[in-house]
Amino acid sequence: MRPRLDMELVVGGILLAGVTSSMVLLTAGLAWHWTRSGNTALDYSLAGTSIFEFVLSDVKALTPDGLRPRVLVNLAIAVLLLTPYVRVLASVLYFALVERNLKYTVFTVFVLLVLTYSLFLR
């Protein structure tokens, strides 16, 4: 019997939404930089940080005064990094609540825990 909710559409949708919004932000950031300074590469790097802190600082920079090309670029990278994480989170919910498959709930929870650990790694 096919489950009511099509898991493949959900997973595909999350991945598509994450990558698309990241690419839109990235294009906007790069285009903004390009028009402001001509065809040169963006020149800045990051000090070592955890993914969690990186995402947090990008969200904090999202103020009318703080908005610059590099904030958009950083935000694009943050959205990209969170995309697989959200996909795994959705998989856990699906296996636990819709398919009620204990085996695969345990497997996906394990993946989620390891990824959560890596979000805070620094």
Partner 1 sequence: MSLALLLFVSSVAGLVGAMAGMGGGVVLIPVLTVLGVDIKRAIAISIVSVIATSSGSASAYVRDHITNLKVGMLLEMFTIVGALVGASIALVSSQRLLFLLFGGVLLASWIALWLQRHEAWRPIDRQDRFSRWLELRGCYDDRAIGRRLEYRAGRAYLGGPLMFGAGVIAGLLGIGAGALKVLIHDLVMGLPPKVSTTTSNLIIGVTALAGTSVYLSAGLIDPGLAAPVILGVTVGAFAGTRVLVRVSNETVRRIFLCVLIVLALEMIDRGLRGG
Q: Is the dihedral of CA 35, 39, 17, 46 positive or negative?
A: negative
Interface with partner 1 includes 51 (CB under 8 A)? yes
Q: How far apart are CA 73 and CA 95, in angstroms?
A: 34
Interface with partner 1 includes 60 (CB under 8 A)? no
Of 42, 59, 62, 102, the residue at the interface with partner 1 (CB under 8 A) is 42
Ramachandran quadrant class, 100 (left: phi over 0; alpha: psi -120 to 50; beta: rest): left
Interface positions, 17-36, toward partner 1 (CB under 8 A): 18-19, 22-23, 26-27, 29-30, 34
Residues found near partner 1 in the complex (CB under 8 A): 7-9, 11-16, 18-19, 22-23, 26-27, 29-30, 34, 39-51, 54, 70, 73-74, 76-77, 80-81, 83-85, 87-88, 91, 103-104, 107-108, 110-111, 114-115, 118-119, 121-122
